[in-house]
Structure 1
Amino acid sequence: MLTIERIMKKLYALLLGGGLLVSSSCSDFIDLTPTHSLSSTTVFGKLDDFEPVLNGTYASMRDLYAYGLFQSVMPDMMADNTLETTESLVNYKAVTDWTYAADQLRVAEVWRFSYLMINDANLILQNITQFESTNPQRANRFKGQALAIRGLMHFNLLRYYAPNFDRNSTAPGIPIKTTPVIELPGRATVKEVYDQIYKDLEAALPLLNDVDAAINTNTRRSRIDAATVNAILARVALYAKEYDRAITFATAAITARPLASRASFPGIWTDANADEVLFSIQFNPGEGGPALDVWSPATNRAQFDPSAELLSLYDAAKDVRYTSYFTPGASVPGSVNRATRVVSTKYQGKGTARDGAVNFKAFRTGEMYLIRAEARALSNRATEALADLNTLRAARIADFTPRTETGQALLDAIATERRKELWLEGHRWFDLKRTTRVVQRVSCRAGVVCNLPASSPKWAWPIPQNERLANPNIAQNEGY
C-alpha cells in the first residue's frame, strides 16, 4: 500500500500523462526505481504544463475510491437508505455492515487515493508561483482550482476518519498535507483541519473570480469554479455548525445556479442538461459510473435496493424525484426476477444509454436550499427556513401546497427532504453522523447488520494499518 511518504517517492515517475492516474484494482503497487527522474522545472516549464496535471486530477475523481463509489453512493449503502439484496456480490459487506478494520483494503484505498489527489494539488501550488506575475489571471485559474481541490479532499477525508465534526474539537482529525515533500505528519485536530480547509477554499474564491477564461459553461460543469467553491464552503460550514457562514455561502451558490424547473429536473440525471449543477464528476462510456454497485444497467443486477422506508417518503404520483430516481422492476428490461421490486435507475446512463456512465453531481443547488434552510432553522430564522424548504418542495412536487412546520417539526421536515432530495449523492451516512448518530435499518433482511448505535466507534473509520506502520507519528482512532 502506498503511504503518504511513499507517494512522494513515486510522484515524478507518475506525473507524465497528466496527473496521478493510478489503478485501484489491486491493493499494492510494485515499487520500481524509475530509469529517469523528473524535476519540477522539467514538468512545469510553462503554464501550459499545468493543464494536463489538473485534468489528470479531475480524471482521478472518477476512481472507485473517490466519486466512483465511496464519495458518491457508498454513504447511502452504509446507512438506512438501501438494503443489500440476495443478488449482492458482497464486495463491500465489511463497509456496509460496519465491520471494517485497519488492515482492510477499502479503508486504506479511500485514504490513499484522497492523498494522491492532494499531492496533485500541492505540486501545482508549489510550482505555479513562478508564473503568477507573467500571466496572473491564467495562473489564478490553475491555482484556484488546486486550492479548492486540496480543501475538498481534506474535507472528504475528515468526514470518514474523524470521530466528530465539532468546529473547535481537539479530537484527532487527519494529517494536513500542504507541500509535496517527504514528511511524516501526525494527525491534526479536527479544528486545525477545518482551519486549513477554510484557508484553502477562501483563498481560492477571489482567484477563481479573476480568471482569464470561463472554467465551466451552462451545460458543462466538470471543473471547480467560484460557484462551486461557495457550495463547498456552504457544506463545510453546515458540518461545522457555523450557520451564518453556511447561509452566506449557500446564498452565493443559489444566486449563481438557480433551481431546475420540474420539467428540466429529469434531464439532469441523463445529462440532457446541467440545470442547477454546480460541479459534476464526468464519466464517459467505458469509464465506469458512480452507482454500478447499487444497480448495474448492463447486467440488470441490483445489489442494493432502495429501502421501503425511503420510498414511502415520496409522493410517487406527483414528486418528479420519484420517477427520476426509481423505476418499477417490471418496467426494467430483463427484470423478471425483481418485477415486484423498485430499481434505482437514477444513474442509468446518458440519454437512452444503459451503461451507468453518467456524470455524478457532486454539488447541486437543491442541496444549497437545504443547507440554507437547516442553517436558518438553527439560527432562529424559522420563517426564512420554511420559505426555503417550501421553495424546494414546490420545485419538485406538482400541485404542492405550502406547509407550515415550526420548531422540531420544521427541522424534521428539512432532514426528511434531505433524505429524499439527495438520495445516492453521498450524504446520508454523514448526515446521520453529524446529527443523530444512529442507523436503524427497517425491514432488514437476513444476513444484514441492522442497527448502529451512537456509542459505536465505527462512526469513524480506522486509520489504515500500513499508514501507521510507515508513520510512527500517526495515532489510531479509538476502538481499533
Structure 2
Amino acid sequence: MKKAILYILLLSQTTLLSCSKWLDVQPESDIDRDILFTTEEGFKEALLGIYTRNAKTDLYGKELTIGTTEVLAQNYKIKPFDRPKYLATKNYRYDDADFMQRKDAIWLGLYSGIVNANLILAEIDQKQNLFTAGNYALIKGETLALRGYLHFDALRLFAPAYLVNPEAAAIPYVTSYSNKTTAMSKVKDVLDSVIADLEQAKELLTDDPIRKSSYIIGYPSADTLTNTELHDKSLFLQNRRHRLNFYAVCGALARVYLYKGDKTNALANAKIVIDAKKFPWTNKTDFLQPDADKKDRILYKELLFGWYIPSLNNEINISTFSDPAVDGIYLSDDDVKSIYETGGAGGSDMRFTQWFSGLNGTEKTIQKYRRNPVGDTFIANKHYLMAPALRLSEVYYIAAECTYEADPDAALAYLDEVRLHREIGDKVKAANLSEFQTELLKEYRKETYAEGQLFYAYKRLNKPIIGFQGEIIPASQRIFVLPLPDDEIIYGER
C-alpha cells in the first residue's frame, strides 16, 4: 500500500478492494513511499515519473495526440479492414469493445497521473527543508499544474462542455491520496478547481529559469549563442519546455479560461506568452530543410510544452499506423488539399507540403512525427521527438477568439500572424462571429493536425464536426461526451 509511484488508482475509492482490477496500476518505481520522499531527488523522481507515465501510448504518446481524439475529429480515413481498430470510433460507436478499452485506459491513465501528483503534494509542504535553491516552488508548481492539466483533459472528454451545461455532473476532482470516494463535481466547479491549481502553479513558477533573459530557446544541437536550454548545471533545470514551465501554465490557463467563457482572463494569460517574445517562430529553412537530419518537422521552438516521446516509432510503429498499404490510417490527395485550401493561397502552406507524403500519387500518409531510419534504428531529427501539448500558435488563436467581438480587425490579425509564418500570404476574411468561428476551426485543423486538439475546439464551441469534403456531423452531446467507464460507475456509485 505504500509503494510510491503509479501504484494504485484512487478515483472512485469506495475501498481498495483487491478484487477490483480497475483500481490496480503497476508501479513505475519500487521505492517505498516513506523512503522516496525523504530527499529532494526522491521528489524529482516522483515528478518526472508522472511525465514519463503520461507519455505512454494510452495517453499523450498516442491516443490523446494522434489516436482517439483525432479519429473523433474526423481527421483520418480508415480502410475497411481497419487494422488499427478505429473505424467504430470514427463512426461514434461508443459500445465498441476496442473503443471502450482505449477510452477506459485513457480515464485510468489520467487519474493515475492525478493520484501520483497528490502523493507529492501530500508530502512536499512539510519537507521544504529538503530543497535547494528554488526547487520546492518549482516541483510544487509543476505538480499542481499537472493535476489541473490532467483533470481538464478528463473534463473535456468525459463531461458536457461548459457552453452547453455548466451545471451538469462532470468528473471527480481528486485532491488527496485517500481511500475515500471522491464525489462528482459539476462542470463549472471542475473548471474552478483546475483554474485554482493552475493559478497557484503560476505563482509558484514566478522564478522559473525559463523566464530569465539568458534562457534562449533553440534546437538541441544549436550553438550556445542561439540555445541555452541545456546550459544549467542541473539536468533537472534543463529543457524547461519538456515540462510544465511558467509560460506553459499561462497557456494552459488561457485554454481553460476560454473553455469557461472567461475571455478577459484567457486573453490576459495569452498576452503574457505573446508579449514575452520568448518563443521564436520557426525559420522557414528549418521546416523545409531537405536534409532530414536537419529538418524541424514539428515546429519545435514554438512549443510551450510537449511530451517527450523518444520511442514513438518503436512503440506504435507509426509507419503502420499511417500507411494505407498495410490497412492503416490515411488521407486522399483531395482530403489534404481540402484541409489546407490549396485551391487558393493555401497551396504554398508549408504544413501541406511537409506533413504528408504520397503513396501511388493518390493516398497520403502522416510525416509529422517520422524519424529518419538507419537500418533497424532511428536517428534524431533536428529536434527532440515531442508530442506537442501547447503551441505558440494556439495562444494566438485564443487571443483572436477573445478579441473578435471587441475588435474584429485585431482578432483577424492574430490569425494572419500565424498564417504568415506558414507561408500563407492572403488574409482571413470574416464578416461576422459565425464566419470567424468557421475560419478559426479551419486554422485549428491545419495547425494542430495529429495533435488531438481539434475535437476539443468543436466541443467547446458546440459546433458541427466538418469532414474533409464538407460533410457535416451535427454537434451532439452523444458524440462530444465519452461514457464513463463501467467500473467507475459501479465502484464509484455514479
Class of the TM-score when normalised by the shorter of the 2 chains:
0.7 to 0.9
Matched, 1:126 2:152: no
Q: 1:411 Cα shift?
A: 3.2
C-alpha change, 1:166 and 1:312, in structure 2 (3 Å) is closer
C-alpha change, 1:54 and 1:418, in structure 2 (3 Å) is same
- Provide the secondary structure at the position in 1 that maps to 2:148: helix
- The 2-side partners of 1:468 and 1:209 are apart by 40
Matched, 1:229 2:249: yes
2:83–2:328 Cα contact (<8 Å) kept = no
Corresponding residue for residue 336 of structure 1: none
- The 2-side partners of 1:235 and 1:213 are apart by 20
Q: 1:277 Cα shift?
A: 0.9
Q: 1:222 Cα shift?
A: 1.2
1:80-130 CA-partner distances (Å, limit 9, x unpaired): 322212453152333222111398322211111100000111111111112
Matched, 1:407 2:427: no
Matched, 1:360 2:387: yes
Q: 1:21 Cα shift?
A: 11
Corresponding residue for residue 44 of structure 2: 51
Q: Which of the residues 85, 90, 98 maps onto 2:79? A: 85
Trace 1:23-102 onto structure 2 (pairs within 5 A).
Answer: 40-73=33-66, 74-86=68-80, 88-101=82-95
- The 2-side partners of 1:105 and 1:183 are apart by 26
Moved more, 125-134 or 179-188: 125-134
Amino acid in the other structure paired with 2:153:
N
Matched, 1:144 2:174: no
Q: Which of the residues 277, 285, 301 maps onto 1:275? A: 301
Corresponding residue for residue 376 of structure 1: 403
Amino acid in the other structure paired with 1:374:
E
Q: Which of the residues 346, 350, 367 maps onto 1:320? A: 350
Q: Which runs of 5+ in 2 are unaligned?
A: 10-19, 220-238
1:272–1:351 Cα contact (<8 Å) kept = no
Corresponding residue for residue 421 of structure 1: 447
1:85–1:302 Cα contact (<8 Å) kept = yes
TM-score (norm 1): 0.81
Moved more, 106-115 or 147-156: 106-115
Q: 1:213 Cα shift?
A: 8.7
Amino acid in the other structure paired with 1:407:
N
Moved more, 242-251 or 268-277: 268-277
Moved more, 285-294 or 229-238: 285-294
Amino acid in the other structure paired with 2:486:
Q
C-alpha change, 1:351 and 1:50, in structure 2 (3 Å) is farther
C-alpha change, 1:118 and 1:241, in structure 2 (3 Å) is same
- Provide the secondary structure at the position in 2 that maps to 1:63: coil
2:322–2:366 Cα contact (<8 Å) kept = no
Q: 1:245 Cα shift?
A: 1.4
Amino acid in the other structure paired with 1:471:
G
Corresponding residue for residue 310 of structure 2: 284
2:210–2:245 Cα contact (<8 Å) kept = no
2:297–2:369 Cα contact (<8 Å) kept = no
1:20–1:117 Cα contact (<8 Å) kept = no
Trace 1:254-265 onto structure 2 (pairs within 5 A).
Answer: 254=274, 255=276, 256-265=278-287
Q: Which of the residues 149, 154, 177 maps onto 2:151? A: 154
Amino acid in the other structure paired with 1:98:
Y
- The 2-side partners of 1:370 and 1:240 are apart by 16
2:164–2:462 Cα contact (<8 Å) kept = no
1:118-161 CA-partner distances (Å, limit 9, x unpaired): 01111111111123255361111110110010000000000110
Trace 1:381-396 onto structure 2 (pairs within 5 A).
Answer: 381-396=407-422
C-alpha change, 1:234 and 1:107, in structure 2 (3 Å) is same
- The 2-side partners of 1:185 and 1:222 are apart by 31
C-alpha change, 1:33 and 1:175, in structure 2 (3 Å) is closer
Q: Which of the residues 348, 353, 369 maps onto 2:370? A: 348
Equivalent pairs: percent with the same residue?
25
1:266–1:320 Cα contact (<8 Å) kept = yes
Q: 1:296 Cα shift?
A: 4.5
- The 2-side partners of 1:102 and 1:146 are apart by 35
Amino acid in the other structure paired with 1:63:
K
- Provide the secondary structure at the position in 1 that maps to 2:389: strand
C-alpha change, 1:468 and 1:412, in structure 2 (3 Å) is closer
Corresponding residue for residue 207 of structure 1: 204
- The 1-side partners of 2:26 and 2:83 are apart by 37
Aligned residues: 439
- The 2-side partners of 1:57 and 1:258 are apart by 28
C-alpha change, 1:75 and 1:310, in structure 2 (3 Å) is farther
- The 1-side partners of 2:454 and 2:208 are apart by 35
